[in-house]
Chains A and B, each alone.
Chain A
């Protein structure tokens, strides 16, 4: 009896040693299981497209040796996913998350107690810009017409966006308007739940001006139902649909508004994981797959920045957006 259990114990010990050595061996080699890329919103938007594009290009180019899967974690303008990553994924090398300026905004306006400082910036990937557009039938033909009217009477026009006050569509327009000398606090702003309702209200003349992401308007610009008055980019787009749209600077308003998108890791991301993913992303943005299948198709502009430079960029953005929200009286 004793003998048998002794043998059993010995066998168990052996198995244990084996298992331990195998897992130890594995632990050295990152990655050894699938990596999850979280899109902090539902399917279909910019975060989702970015997450899916990164996942696809990483698979096509085999830059990451394991599978990457996209998980949609919608809620609270990205705040739900942020809280999850900060609270539950600390030190996890297998979770990545995509973010853009709302990461900073939801923290500044108090919706989320977490912010960009709580997660690990790995790379800034792309930039998109905002556009100020009017209906083709509008009597306003240039940005100057719009700003002059608003300067005379801030309530003379209705501005629309596809997100609530204090978010990108609102801020990008108000930033330009305040630089032009408009009393922005009085400008009526209507927000619609999505880009298609915004566009249909613009085309039919229910609102006068729309401020939104460039991508929302491409189909309408192509059909000439909508005219772009200005983009918030530092220089004009080369795309045929956008090449005639001047920049804010050309219109005499010296500001830009970036809609950057980047990849982040959880807090305290292990050094090997951080190095591996950063390297993979650095190579990914150089690949033709990324340039052809992603940037060209979605009209995104390459804006690659490695982790540490991305971090200082975020510090600047945080300050600039904070100042703007204060000017607009949205935060104290």
Chain B
């Protein structure tokens, strides 16, 4: 332990060298900007940074890149909350309650809480990374296809909690999402499915295309066709979160942070899944689940902490095993190799300065991001003062840039508009959109891991229950499904009790 403390101190000494400090600042500022801009995510951000780092030493380069990575998680919530335009994949869920809060004039609280949540998650994440990286990496290895299947199924069950109103309409939305998720090349057979011979569909439909269509474009079309309220200006209640807000969301932040971190450690699970699951958990355990979707602060706090936690969790498997857990860390792996450093289990023993330099830079980077982001809150909240006739086209422009930036594809833009029209129809017929998006994210993972597991077990379905982790997750999934039902039963019997008395 004393040795670790010594190493951490030497890490701080590295970060506080003027040049390193400047580059770390550049990293987190760029990260915040990239987070705010929809579509341009941390993956392309880090890739753009690579040429700048050619002549740096590896520690400086890596701390700049990871600064950009977790910095992007801070910025991602801004447009979700203010405009219903998710800035990153991992901020899609933040739209659900964030935008409702903004409509009620509580944009300041929402933005502030997501900055504070990101900070807490970032700091918890780096503490866990510092002490637990190698054992956690081993823990991640316990997750094979069977465990992934059960985990993703649990995630999919949480889709039911995103639902409001009619259960059959919620299921319909899940079904639509699952169906969209089957489009593309099937990984297990190499066959193309539902692509109609179109190359653009071979990789499936990116969920940002669907999310921007269903949220942003549909919102614009809705506002544009419903003139009442056009003149109304949203009054900003308070530019910063109050103590009450912070107290209210503290639990959600802590839960979101740890859940996000542990899910982020697993390769391929990532920040978007973590944000969805943590939102669902919050709603599930809340005393007033009906508030969610109508402007619950905890519905912002949980996913925004979770995505930050996940981005640091993803660094665990990169640094301790050399196995990147996300697209961005995969790019960072390439960068490490460029410096002649082989990522792998030997990275920490052979290059302790890199690991401890990154850990120390994350403590400092998170403080910088909080200082940077809190003063920006009232500034960003001013966006809401823009008159609607100017704001709505702006939303369309931002969404289009975001979707086009994914892979420079016109088809993606056309699909976004199509989903925008679908979004309007779904709104008219009161079919909830979030379960559809979650199903698109998780559906392919559920399917692929199920088939991987069954190939390995030679078709034996026992595989999902004989593995303890998988079995536990399945029980949890079942509990998720039954929980709302049980609660209703409990509430009814309590009511009966009251009547009898």
Contacts and interface: CB of A to CB of B under 8 A. Distances in A.
A binds B: yes
Interface string B438-467: 000000000010001001101000000000
B190 A330 contact: yes
B334 A191 contact: no
B140, B144, B331, B342: most-surrounded residue (chain A CB, <10 A): B342
Interface of A: 42-44, 48-49, 52, 56, 71-77, 79-80, 83, 109, 111-112, 155, 158, 164-167, 170, 188-197, 199-201, 203-204, 206-207, 215, 218-220, 222-223, 225, 296-298, 330
A74 B407 contact: yes
A228 B449 CA distance: 26
A111 B347 CA distance: 39
A56 B43 CA distance: 20
B128 interface: no
B43 A219 contact: no
Contacts of B337: 49, 215, 297-298
Contacts of B199: 75-76, 79-80, 83, 111-112
A127 to B, nearest CB: 17
B202 A111 contact: yes
8 closest A-B pairs (Cβ-Cβ)? A219-B344, A196-B323, A219-B322, A223-B345, A76-B202, A43-B47, A206-B144, A164-B190
B391 interface: no
Interface in B474-499: none
B346 A219 contact: yes
A226 to B, nearest CB: 10
Contact of A165 (B51, B190, B203): B190
Contact of B455 (A43, A188, A219): A188
A240 to B, nearest CB: 11
B331 A44 contact: yes
A204 B321 CA distance: 12
Interface residues of B, number: 54
B10 interface: no
B324 interface: yes
Interface string B286-322: 0000000000000000000000000000000100011
Contacts of B108: none
Nearest to B148: A197
A80 B409 contact: yes
Contact of B456 (A77, A158, A215): A158
Given A200-B141, A219-B342, A206 B43 contact: no
B190 A80 contact: no
Given A49-B337, A188-B458, 9 more contacts: A43-B44, A44-B47, A76-B202, A80-B199, A80-B200, A164-B186, A200-B143, A200-B317, A219-B321
Given A75-B199, A164-B188, A193-B448, A218 B317 contact: no
